[in-house]
Chains A and B, each alone.
Chain A
């Protein structure tokens, strides 16, 4: 066989064979057609995958039949974000007449007719057809094709062509991320990626507390189920990012793709890359928006004071307690509705929640030449809360430089600077949103402040001192007592060198230091509160943390890694890619705290201003280190049969030297069925790949020093305080890592032109050696040792469906993702039967409670049925006697489903027409249930005086036959309703949300260029516009805190613009 190499215009290599076949990689196929030197008609070419057959006569015919050229069209091709696109193809439709855009994205093409259609295409972008209609200037904007096979995705320590992936990796591109106006990248991932479940705890500014779970809850130990997040290869915090800086996000879900991260990959890995400079003229981009935010859902609480007082008396009477209010008092409220000063019907929810204006500004400057490129970006975000005192400010800066020193060495790096300032109510305590608790709990029969007998204004504690129990604090009085500030800085410089010492070898080394500081301060002063009825003194707000408490903490996290990569294509068919590397990390945390209690004035907030009496100090430090060797070998035959193996060898300081090294391997294979010749006949098929993988992963978060026998320090007050030490726990020095074994089988299928595509993955994830506190007799006097014992499985599947098509100026793009998994405990030492049950064969922490079956309608029903505890009356809850022993007791508890969602899903619809585009995004969770029994301000009537929900008032039992929905009016602590843990309190937290709807308009280029802009876009967007749920009142979308009240999610209306100079 004779073989020769030719160099064609455009710089591509191809092979000419004696059989007159051209063997080309698919990339070149479309380019070839566009080359003007070979103007061929498509019918003369037989396209067979990467081969194009054509005959010499056809070439000659093509040349001869070239029509005369009439009209010259020119213009620029842009990306969606307004960057010029060099090398794009422009072809006159139905002919071989075409050209490429130059380095500036500009093209000029002579066409045969004023009515022809031009086809614009570029690898990785959706092809667009534009009718010329006599125009001489045509600018187009090409949309990125998310289903493109040529797309390169970021994987562990490198990149890979999507077509060659054998693992389960889902990616998200820059444009998709910033479609919504959020500033928290974790929140923006919600509903976008199969297998990734994001639960947002609240809309609290700067404290959304998103919980991320990849393929379910991996372990029940303290090692945790949080995925590993790497930003440009360095472990980092997603909340530190400006979403505008993000280039792409890859979520590595199975063992094959994440085993290269070994001991920290058990819960999956999220890889984020940020934007880098491009070799082009200086480009300045600006993205700005303003947001109007308000609480998405709030409970509707009784705010008619007379009813409030009447029902409280009723509830108390039911508990055998004396009334708090006289009939005269109630009547006075009922009859004096025109006197809101003395007889208010105060709506605290309305009073406390106000709309807030947030805004985001982001500026990016980039550019460079072929040797050196840079990018500088600055971001600012300001978000006041929808309640008082809360505010979040975030400042981002990032500078990125890449420089090609020689043709074999490139160096570069980037520096990230972040400042996050959070202000909270001083009552905020992480999981428990006490401010919201106070708002939901405040009663309508008093106002926040009142005029005292001496004419001054004071805060109200509660209605009167006749109410002999603690009621919630007045939220306004709490605000007056001070605030909490939390100031965070992060500096993360990272530098790399990429050396190509020999052909086919790439040696990449990176070093980074992430330095965080946090200054946390809580300030609180007493605030006098008075009884509303007579203005007498009640209390001083019973502050929790009087004075000033400060904690300063720092974290230094250094990372160094180095990889050597070899890739070579042997004989044009054997593609080999081998990577080996070393990684080490060291983390040091330090903290210092101090507090003083007694301050001369409210205004002085620094420690030195306070008295030394009752001051206290403390400080601590902790450290850990990890060292790893890792490698990957990939092989594919003709891009048809794909094989990959990964392994990592990890050593950690957290485990004793005897067991500290762990080995985490994975293997995977893929078969691109669509590349087989027998599949080629199916003209509609673009790609079909079947994948399978197996691997093992570790979880190193086993505590910092779990294997070491240590003494805890303490102290005892003899005549002076003397330090002390004692042993507190038994230790198992043979502790190992938790190991997760994961299997994944999946396929990717797409049809030509992107009309339809599907990705399916089934997985089976088993975590073994889960760290478990093995019970020992309490008589040992030590806490139990942590041992490797538990085992748990998550099995499920994920489907991504997509479809996209262009009809003239109209284009749609639809995608749906669906994920489901089943959690099962495989091994524990002894089952737990409490409010939740942990048993082998059941989902972890399954709901375990008595089944509620209605409301007792009359005494006869109570007497006829099984004996209930606490002597119920008509109007109380009726429970099911599961074991038919005629007694309702702990033995009647049953497992109730809903501990984990049945499935979760997201759907995105993008529509564009000319310069308009519309984006609709739905997201939902189904089959999730949550019990908030006992912790339910805003749900339970009169818990610390809380007004009952209106729904309860409207649907409560009043007389025989009235309802089976809610019991008769009761007060918190009324045993027949509250003391049995029952399904009455188990609420359905499923929801479907219209997360985002955005409409954008790209200002036509000829218009924008007149005002000196390369690109301009304006958009309006709404977040959390609709919610469909059965969850009453507060927000269904919340982490399992077991608290009903939480800082609400926000509905946000955004007006924004993006411009490029």
Chain B
């Protein structure tokens, strides 16, 4: 019997131990260790700062950095897809006028990237009032986020027209399946957001700390209104930036405006996607200097004037056997010949070792830092991607004013300021131009000044010039003409998956 008592004893101890394991209820509660739990967030100043940085971090996407923007320049006919293109590889097809709802690629990226931004902004605006921080801080933060939301929605409206408009995070999936608003309604929301931002954001420079400022909102407003052909409004907003004097043209070497070296405290940059090594970096140099993911076209090269301020068709200085000679200094800082080696600041001459040949014999120069050569996958690029700069404000002003009042002195002053900046020193636009002549000069100035900044594609669409220009282009490989159908191609199709999921969304015309 004693023996059994021992057994019972040991068994009891064992079962107590067992019950100990069974009873600890928290055993199954395990939370993520590298992510923040949403319900416990939105309390402190630090939470607000993180949420704000989260909104800005949505700029780190194809659409708001080099890759997506270059794609727009391919679409604009200023470049061709590189032979060894490794990225947005269908852009060449879209550029040919073959754009379908199922195409994906760029046509879906912009949609997705913008809406990720919108959703992050809405999530911020929905929750920021839960945080206990000074009202003044909160107001500025909201202003920044409204600016960002306007920026995202404007991009959507520009490319897709009317899109679904959410100003709050949809709570249920059903709630998210709304019909698109009209383009006018989206633009109205953009302008409303910008007006709040203009009122609440600090009136300082942008480049010092990288947060959107009043000038950022004003400059964007001038762009939005210009795209609406609201000439007076566009001129007004641009003029406000010009008169408040927080921004000015960069006085350093023009190419450095697009490289990290020239971007610190740069008074020309009004808004940008910002990088900082070692953790926030892009692969811009690899893509430009090694992969050669897009090849500039001859038409763009030829759009640059000679140093006498005349187009190559009329300038006696133009040498058809050497296109580099006597040209607008911006040309060599935008485009280089495929066979040219790189010359570093030290004078060292190194080969590019491109990963693929250029279909057009040209390679991009703007935005690529030759000091990083020889390049490899560990090269981290930290040049900011400039989204709005002062030169645009000047040219917005010039274009809007010219449309409104014809080529006034103010128009001349604005465009000539851009041409006369140090190191570029292009002669002033000849006097006595008609409104149409001046318009042509402004259009070309925008083309060369903003080459490879995504502006051209959006410009030729709003000018309704795309239907004339694009079909005139012949592809170097296939010798086929590009197509542009004005009945559909001024707007992009909604991704088919979007139409499938959201029964209320109506596809854009003729897709």
Contact = CB atoms under 8 A, between A and B. Distances in A.
Contacts, number: 240
A470 B495 CA distance: 33
A704 B32 contact: yes
Nearest to A562: B18
A730 B374 contact: no
Contact of A542 (B122, B123, B274, B377): B377
**Taking each of B31, B53, B58, which has the highest tally of chain A beta carbons within 10 Å of its own beta carbon?**
B53
A869 to B, nearest CB: 11
Contacts of A470: 84, 355-356
B38 A584 contact: no
Contact of B53 (A613, A723, A778): A723
Given A625-B27, A711-B41, A780-B119, A725 B54 contact: yes
A778 B498 contact: yes
Nearest to B497: A775
Contact of B21 (A468, A560, A624): A560
A778 B120 contact: no
Given A501-B11, A621-B33, A709-B38, A779 B53 contact: no
Contact of A718 (B119, B211, B277, B279): B211
A715 B22 CA distance: 42
Given A584-B27, A624-B30, A627-B27, A727 B378 contact: no
A625 B27 CA distance: 7
A779 B163 contact: yes
Interface stretch (B110-118, B406-414, B441-449, B466-474): B110-118
B37 A710 contact: yes
A544 B57 contact: no
A652 B495 CA distance: 38
Contact of B376 (A543, A705, A781, A830): A543
Nearest to B35: A710
Interface string B363-377: 000000000001111
Contact of B54 (A526, A615, A724): A724
Interface in B223-241: none
A586 B497 contact: no
User: Which of A776, A780, A781 has its CB near the most chain B CB atoms (within 10 A)?
Assistant: A781
Most interface-central of A539, A545, A586, A723 (chain B CB within 10 A): A539
Contacts of A780: 115, 119, 170, 173, 176
B125 interface: no
Given A539-B374, A775-B500, A777-B164, A726 B275 contact: no
A714 B54 contact: yes
B36 A711 contact: yes
Most buried by A among B52, B120, B351, B378: B378
Given A320-B477, A502-B7, A709-B38, A718 B377 contact: no
A653 B53 contact: no
B278 A614 contact: yes
A469 B83 contact: yes
A313 B77 CA distance: 31
Interface in A687-722: 704-705, 708-722
B279 A710 contact: no
Given A502-B4, A720-B276, A543 B377 contact: yes
A564 to B, nearest CB: 9
B462 interface: no
Given A547-B378, A709-B38, A718 B501 contact: no
A781 B115 contact: yes
B39 interface: yes
Contacts of B280: 715-717, 721
Contact of A705 (B32, B108, B377): B32
Nearest to B33: A621
Nearest to A623: B30
Interface string B252-285: 0000000000000000000000111111100000
A469 B353 CA distance: 10
B169 to A, nearest CB: 8
Nearest to A620: B34
A469 B84 CA distance: 8
A469 B279 contact: no
Nearest to A539: B353
A36 B16 CA distance: 53
Contacts of B477: 320
B49 interface: yes
Given A715-B53, A778-B111, A780-B119, A542 B376 contact: yes
A901 interface: no
B115 A779 contact: yes
Nearest to B377: A544
Contacts of A499: 7, 10-11, 14
A540 interface: yes
A974 interface: no
Interface in B1-54: 3-4, 7-8, 10-11, 14, 18, 21-22, 27-39, 41, 47, 49-54
Interface in B77-116: 83-84, 108, 111-112, 115-116
A330 interface: no
Nearest to B356: A469
Contacts of A542: 290, 353, 355, 375-377
Contacts of B290: 542
A727 B54 CA distance: 9
Interface in A617-640: 620-627
A717 B282 CA distance: 12
B177 interface: yes
Given A545-B378, A726-B57, A780-B119, A713 B36 contact: yes
Contacts of A660: 28
B123 A726 contact: yes
B209 interface: yes
Interface in A461-517: 468-470, 499, 501-502, 507, 509
Chain A CB within 10 Å, residue with most, of B37, B115, B274, B501: B501
Residue from A560, A597, A774, A779 having most chain B Cβ neighbours under 10 A: A779
A708 B108 CA distance: 28
Given A546-B376, A623-B30, A709-B39, A582 B278 contact: no
A542 B52 CA distance: 38
B288 to A, nearest CB: 15
Interface in B474-508: 477-478, 495, 497-498, 500-502, 505
Nearest to A585: B27
B115 A562 contact: no
B50 to A, nearest CB: 4
A776 B501 CA distance: 6
B309 interface: no
A657 interface: yes
Q: Which of B59, B108, B353 has the most CB of A within 10 A?
A: B353
B357 interface: yes
A987 interface: no
B182 interface: no
B56 interface: yes
Contacts of A814: none
17 contacts: A320-B478, A469-B355, A470-B84, A499-B10, A526-B374, A542-B377, A622-B33, A657-B29, A713-B36, A724-B53, A725-B54, A726-B54, A726-B120, A778-B108, A779-B164, A780-B115, A830-B500
Interface of A: 320, 408-409, 468-470, 499, 501-502, 507, 509, 526, 537-547, 560, 562, 582, 584, 586, 597, 613-616, 620-627, 651-653, 657, 660, 704-705, 708-727, 730, 774-782, 785, 830
Interface of B: 3-4, 7-8, 10-11, 14, 18, 21-22, 27-39, 41, 47, 49-60, 83-84, 108, 111-112, 115-120, 122-123, 163-164, 166, 170, 173, 176-177, 208-211, 274-280, 290, 351, 353-357, 374-378, 380, 477-478, 495, 497-498, 500-502, 505
The 4 closest A-B pairs by CB, nearest first: A781-B119, A724-B53, A468-B357, A726-B54
Given A716-B280, A725-B54, A830-B500, 7 more contacts: A546-B376, A621-B33, A708-B31, A709-B39, A716-B60, A722-B50, A781-B120
